[in-house]
Chains A and B, each alone.
Chain A
C-alpha cells in the first residue's frame, strides 16, 4: 500500500525539515551569528546572568544523569542553547526521561537536534504511555531504554513519533494485549513496505515509507519506531553473519510479559516468534541486540563503551555454550591481545566476535552450538577449530610462539535443523 497523497505531503515536509536540521546546528541557521557582535556585548554585560542561567539548567538535571548530560551539553557545541531550552521547557514529570535521552545521545544528534524535536519526542512518548493499557504497565527502565529513544541505530534523525502514533492509534487502541497490538503494527508496516536492496547508508522511517521498500535493517528501524510510537518496548537484533548460510539479518525484539520475543519486520505473521528466519535462528552462532544507553542488567553484554552497550542475546534463539580462549606466548599469558571467533560466510572466514584478552590472557564468549574458527594475535598469529556444545564450556589454548600454517582444510559443523534447540 503506497502512502496516500496526504501522507506523502506530510512525509515530504517532515523529511525536508529533518534534512535541513541535520545539516547544520539549529543555532547556525538562526540570526544568532549575524547578531554575534551585539550578543557578545550582551554576554559581557550580563556575565553574571549567564553564569546563573548555566547553573539553573544544571540544577534541573536529575543527579543520576547530571555528569553525562553536562558532557553532552559540551559536545553539542553551537547547539547547546537548543538543548538547554528543552531541559528548561520540558514538563517536570518528563524531565528525567529527557535527560536520560540526552545522557546517551550520540554527538552527531547533539550537534543538530532542535528543542522542538526533543520536546515533541518526549511528550508524545509519555502521551502514548498513558494512552494504551499495555504501555502503562511497562517498567520505567524498560520505557527509557526501549520506548523513549528518538533513534534505533544509524538512521537519519527524523520526527517520526507523532506521525506514526497518529496513524497507529486507531488500529491498536482497542487491543488489550501488547502482543496482539505488536502484530497489528507489523501488518500495518508490512502493507506499506517490502524488502528491497538500497544503498549503504540507512534510510530513516520516513524514507522507507516513501520508497515503499528497504533492507532488513531499514524495515526493522521503521517497525521499531512504529512499535515505540504506541508505547511498545522494542529494540533491534541482528546476527552479523549466519553460520549455516551466507549473509546476515536484522529484526526486532519486543518486550512482552517480562521476556523478549522476536518478529521479522514488516512480515504478516499471526503471532510473535514466527518469522522466515526462525528455523535458521535456532542454529545461529551469535545474535546482538542494541539498547539505547546502558541497561543496568549487564550480565549478557558482548561489548560496552562509555555511552553504549551491545547485548549478546543468542540464548533467546539457540542452545548456547561457552568458549574460553587462553592466549600464551612462550608459556606466558598475553593480556590485551586481539582474539576473534569466525564463521564461514559469503566466501570467507568472517569475524563474528572480536575480543581482547584480559590480564590473565583469557577471553570468553557465549555462542550457539557449533564449530568455530578461533584466532588471536597481532604480528604473531595462532588459530584453531573449536567445537562448542550446548551448556558446556570449551577450552582453547592459542600459543603465539608456535607458528601455524594457513594451508589447511576442515569442516565447520553445525547441528542439523531437526536437532536444533
Chain B
C-alpha cells in the first residue's frame, strides 16, 4: 500500500475519536445536509430513536466531501441498521470506501461507487464496521494488481485456501464479516459475505449473486459478481479456476438455472439472463369468464429435493393489455404453476399446471379461478351482506361524535373494526391504509373503529405510528363487534364495504389479505366483475 495514503488515512481518521458527544444533535445534522434531502434525513433519524444521536454524529463529524455519502447510507439503510449502527462504524464505512477507491484508482465509474462499494449491507449480517480490518490485511496483497479482476482473483485464491465452510444449527444470527475472517470459517453464505466485504474494502464494486432454487436438483447456489473493465464477472469463492466463467453455472446445473438475483445498493435486482437463456411466463386469471386483476394466490414453482418449492423472488410485473395478468422472466426450463382458492373453511382448491419456458418466447397460461364452493350461511342474528349496517354514534379521538350516516358516500365507504393489540387487526389496518394512500382502491371513504380500547394513550400512538390517514372512531364497549357476532377482540378485524344507503356490499370477518382485492372487485362498474 502506498505509504502516503496511510498517512492521509491517519490524518483523516485519528484513533480515539470521541464518539457520541453531546454536541451532536439531530437538528445540526439535518442542517448540514443538502436541502433536497433534509426532510427525508429527518424522517430516517427519527426512525432511529435515540440512536439518532449516533447517526447524527456521523453526519456532523464526517469530512465535508464525504457527508453526502454518510447521509445516503442513513437514508437507505433498513430500520434495524438505524438502531444498531454506531457513529464509528458509519464513519469508517464512508472513509475507507472513499480512500480505497482513491488508493487503487481502478477507474470505477462514479455511479457505481455508492451502490457497489459504499453500500455496506450484503445480506443478513449485523451492521458492523469491517473495512479497516479487511483493508489492512488485504490491501498489501493486491497492491500489484492493475485491474479489479486481477485483485479479485488474488482474493479468490486466498479464500479457497484459507476459509472453511461449516454448517450451523438453528440458533444464532449471521456472523459479521470480521468474525468470519478471524475465525477462518463460516457457512457458504457467510463466506460469500466475507468475499464481498473484502472486495468493497479494497475499492472493487461487487455484489452477491444468488440462485435460490435449482430445478430438479437439491438446494441452490450463491456466489459473487465483480465489476471490472466495464463488465460484471462471476467469482465462485471455492473455484478460483473458474473466475469470470459465466457458463460454469449452467455447466454444473444444465437447464436448471431458474432465477438469479443480486443486490444493487440496498435493493434486489434480477440478473438471470446473464447466466442462462431466458424466456417469459405470463399468467392470466379469469373468474366466470371475466379477467381478474390482482389475483395473489398463485405462484411458479420448481421441483427441488423432494418437494415443489415456489420461486418467491421472481419479479412479477403487471400486464395492462390483452387480458391483463402478470409476467416474469425465468431461465429456460420446466416449471409448475400453482393457484388456489379457499372456501369458507379455509380449505383450498388447487390447480397445478406444468409449463415450459423457452428462450426468447413468452409462455401464456390462463387459469380459471372461479370459486368451486359457496359462502357459509350467514349468522341469522348478525348483519350480513345485503343487510344494513347497524346505526351507531361514536366519538373520534378528539371526542367529537359522529353517526354512521355521516360516512355514507356515493363512492361507498369501507369500515374496519379493529383492536390494535392484536396482530390480525394491526395488519389489516396497515394494509387498508396503504391501499388508500397508494390509491389502489380509488374512491371510497375509509373509517376505522377501534373496539374495546378505553385508553387513548394506547390508541393514539398506534394511529400516529401507522400514519393513518382516515378518521378513527372509538367504540369502548365493542358494541359493533357484538353486533357482528365477534365476541373476542382477537377475532377481529371486521371489514365492511357499504353503499350510500348503508347497505353492506361486502363483509369480511377475520384477517384476510385478499379483502383489498375483494373491495376493488366490488367497486368496479357493473359488467366488469363489479356488483
Asked if B298 and A347 make an inter-chain contact with CB atoms under 8 angstroms apart, the answer reads yes
Complex CA–CA separation, A156 to B296 (angstroms): 34
Are A340 and B350 touching (Cβ within 8 A)? no
B462 at the interface (CB under 8 A from A): yes
In the complex, what distance in Å separates the CA atom of A107 from the CA atom of B342? Answer: 43
Minimum CB–CB distance for A274 against chain B, Å = 8
B168 lies within 8 A of A107 (CB)? yes
A197 within 8 A of B: yes
Query: A19-B126, A28-B182, A406-B336 known; A191 and B458 CB under 8 Å?
Result: yes
Please pick, from A210, A249, A413, the residue contacting B347 in the complex, using a CB distance under 8 A. Answer: A413
**Given the complex, which residues of A lie within 8 Å of B420, measured CB to CB?**
194
Q: How far is the CA of A21 from the CA of B352 in the complex (A)?
A: 50
A354-384 at interface with B (beta carbon < 8 Å): 354, 371, 373, 375-379, 381, 383
Q: For B126, what are the chain A residues with a Cβ–Cβ distance below 8 Å?
A: 19, 22-23, 156, 201
Q: How far is the CA of A28 from the CA of B50 in the complex (A)?
A: 28
A347's partner among B130, B340, B353 (CB-CB below 8 A) is B340
Chain B binder among A48-56, A108-116, A389-397? A108-116
Bound-state Cα–Cα, A340 to B307, Å:
6
Q: A246 — nearest CB in chain B belongs to which residue?
A: B513
Bound together, the chains give a CA A207 to CA B342 distance in angstroms of 37
Is B522 on the interface with A (CB-CB < 8 A)? no
Q: Per-residue 0/1 for B194-228: is the Cβ within 8 Å of any A Cβ (1 yes, 0 no)? A: 00000000000000000000001110000000000
Q: Shortest CB–CB separation between residue B164 and chain A, in angstroms?
A: 12
Q: Distance (Å) between the CB of B421 and the closest chain A CB? A: 5
In residues 374-431 of chain B, which contact A (Cβ within 8 Å)?
Answer: 420-424, 426-427, 430
Report how far A213 CA is from B464 CA in the complex, Å: 13
Contact B172 A347 (CB under 8 A): no
Q: Is the CB of B423 within 8 A of A195?
A: yes
| Interface presence of A203 (CB below 8 A) | yes
Interface residues on B, range: 35 or more
In the complex, are the beta carbons of B347 and A11 less than 8 A apart? no
Contact A349 B301 (CB under 8 A): yes
State whether A412 touches B347 (Cβ < 8 A). Answer: yes
Q: Tell me if A409 counts as interface (CB < 8 A to partner B).
A: yes
A408 to chain B, nearest CB (A): 5
Closest B residue to A357 by beta carbon equals B306
For A292, the closest partner residue in chain B by CB is B171
- Residues of chain B with a CB closer than 8 A to A216's CB: 423
Cβ-based interface call for A139 (8 A): no
A201 touching B80 in the complex, CB below 8 Å, given contacts A348-B301, A416-B345: yes
> Cβ of A408: which chain B residues have Cβ within 8 Å of it?
351-352
Stretch at the interface among B173-181, B229-237, B242-250: B173-181
Instruction: Output the least CB separation between B16 and chain A (Å).
Output: 13
- Using an 8 Å CB-CB cutoff, how does the interface string of A9-41 with B read, 1 for contact, 0 for none? 101100110011011110010000000000000
Complex Cα gap A154–B80 (Å) = 14
- CB < 8 Å neighbour of B346 from A200, A245, A407: A245
Q: Is the CB of B346 within 8 A of A203?
A: no
**Are B354 and A305 within 8 A (Cβ)?**
no
CB distance from B489 to the nearest CB of A (A): 8
Considering the chains assembled together, what is the distance between the CA atoms of A22 and B86 in angstroms? 13
CA distance in complex: A112, B424 (Å) = 38
Asked if B65 is at the interface of the complex by the 8 Å CB criterion, the answer is: no
B339 within 8 A of A: yes
Decide if A264 touches B172 in the complex (CB within 8 Å). no
Which of A306, A344, A405 neighbours the largest number of chain B CB atoms within 10 Å of its CB? A344
Complex interface bits, B478-517 against A, C-beta within 8 A gives 1, otherwise 0:
0000000000111100000000000000000001110000
Point out which of A267, A276, A339 has the most chain B C-beta atoms below 10 A from its C-beta: A276
Give the Cβ gap from A250 to chain B, nearest Cβ, in Å: 10
- Indicate whether A256 reaches chain B with its CB closer than 8 angstroms: no
Q: Are B350 and A197 in contact (CB-based, < 8 A)?
A: no
**Distance in Å: Cβ of A166 to nearest Cβ of chain B:** 19
Give, as a whole number of angstroms, the nearest-CB distance from B124 to chain A: 5
CB atoms of B83 and A207 under 8 A apart: yes
A200 touches B171 (CB 8 A): no
Enumerate chain B residues within 8 angstroms of A78, measured Cβ to Cβ: 182-183
Q: A155-B173, A276-B423, A407-B352 are in contact. Are A347 and B51 (CB under 8 A)?
A: no
What's the least CB distance linking B143 to chain A, in Å? 23
Complex CA distance for A60 and B174, rounded to whole angstroms = 31
Q: Is the Cβ of B465 less than 8 Å from the Cβ of A212? A: yes
A337: interface (CB < 8 Å): yes
A104 CB to nearest B CB, Å: 8
Which A111-128 residues have C-beta < 8 A from chain B? 111-112
A100 in the interface (beta carbon within 8 A): no
The answer on a CB contact under 8 Å between B422 and A267 is: yes
Q: Which residues in A have their C-beta under 8 angstroms from that of B182?
A: 24-25, 28, 77-78, 111
- With a CB–CB cut-off of 8 A, which chain A residues contact B342? 244-245
Contacts between chains A and B (CB distance < 8 A), count:
269
Q: Let me know if A211 is at the binding interface, CB within 8 A.
A: yes
Interface presence of A92 (CB below 8 A): no
In the complex, what distance in Å separates the CA atom of A203 from the CA atom of B20?
23
Q: Does B294 contact A (CB under 8 A)?
A: no
Complex CA gap A181/B100 in Å reads 56
For residue A307, which residue of chain B has the nearest CB?
B169
Q: A191 to chain B: which residues have CB within 8 Å? A: 458
**A351 in the interface, Cβ–Cβ < 8 Å?**
yes
- B31 an interface residue at 8 Å Cβ cutoff? no
* A409, B169: Cβ atoms closer than 8 Å: no
User: Is the C-beta of A316 less than 8 angstroms from some C-beta in chain B?
Assistant: no
Q: Report how far A376 CA is from B49 CA in the complex, Å.
A: 49
CB of B274 within 8 Å of the partner chain: no
Say whether B445 faces chain A, with CB atoms less than 8 Å apart: no
- With CB as the reference atom, state the residue of chain B lying closest to A199: B78
Which residues A71-125 have CB closer than 8 A to chain B? 77-78, 104, 106-109, 111-112
B513 nearest CB neighbor, chain A only: A246
Is A153 a contact of B308 with CB atoms below 8 Å? no
The interface residues of chain A lying within 8 Å CB-to-CB of B458 are 1, 191
Task: Pick the contact of B305: A203, A247, A277, A338 (CB < 8 A).
Answer: A338
Q: A194 CA to B421 CA in the complex, in Å?
A: 6
- Cα(A133)–Cα(B89), bound, Å: 45
Task: Mark contacts of B81-93 with chain A using CB atoms, 8 A cut-off: 1 yes-contact digit, 0 otherwise.
Answer: 0011010010000
A348 touches B299 (CB 8 A): yes
Given contacts A108-B173, A379-B216, contact A412 B166 (CB under 8 A): no
CB closest residue in chain A, given B87: A16
| Contact partners of B86 in chain A: CB under 8 A | 16, 19-20
Q: How far is the CA of A310 from the CA of B350 in the complex (A)?
A: 30
Cα distance, A108 to B186, chains bound together (Å):
9
Most chain-B Cβ atoms within 10 A of its Cβ — which of A15, A108, A266, A277?
Answer: A108
- Cross-chain contact B171 with A190 (CB below 8 angstroms): no
Partner of B350 from A154, A337, A409 at Cβ < 8 Å: A409
Q: Whole-angstrom distance between the alpha carbons of A310 and B129 in the complex?
A: 34
Say yes or no: is B309 at the interface (Cβ < 8 Å to chain A).
Answer: yes
Most buried by A among B133, B305, B424: B305
**16 additional contacts (CB under 8 A) given A407-B352, A408-B351, A411-B347:** A8-B50, A25-B182, A78-B183, A199-B79, A211-B83, A274-B490, A344-B350, A346-B299, A347-B296, A348-B310, A371-B347, A379-B217, A406-B308, A410-B349, A414-B345, A414-B346
- Using CB atoms and an 8 Å cutoff, list the residues of chain B in contact with chain A: 20, 49-51, 54, 78-80, 83-84, 86, 89, 124, 126-130, 133, 166, 168-176, 178-179, 182-183, 185, 216-218, 296-299, 301, 303, 305-310, 336, 338-340, 342, 345-354, 420-424, 426-427, 430, 457-458, 461-462, 465-466, 488-491, 511-513
Where the two chains meet, the residues of A that have a C-beta atom closer than 8 Å to any C-beta of B are: 1-2, 8-9, 11-12, 15-16, 19-20, 22-25, 28, 77-78, 104, 106-109, 111-112, 151, 153-157, 190-191, 194-203, 207, 210-213, 216, 243-247, 249, 264, 266-269, 274-279, 283, 290, 292, 305-308, 310, 337-340, 342, 344, 346-351, 354, 371, 373, 375-379, 381, 383, 405-417
Write 5 A-B pairs (CB below 8 A) sorted by A numbering: A245-B512, A307-B169, A344-B348, A349-B352, A354-B305
The 6 A-B residue pairs with the shortest CB-CB distance, nearest first, are A244-B346, A276-B490, A338-B306, A106-B172, A348-B310, A23-B128
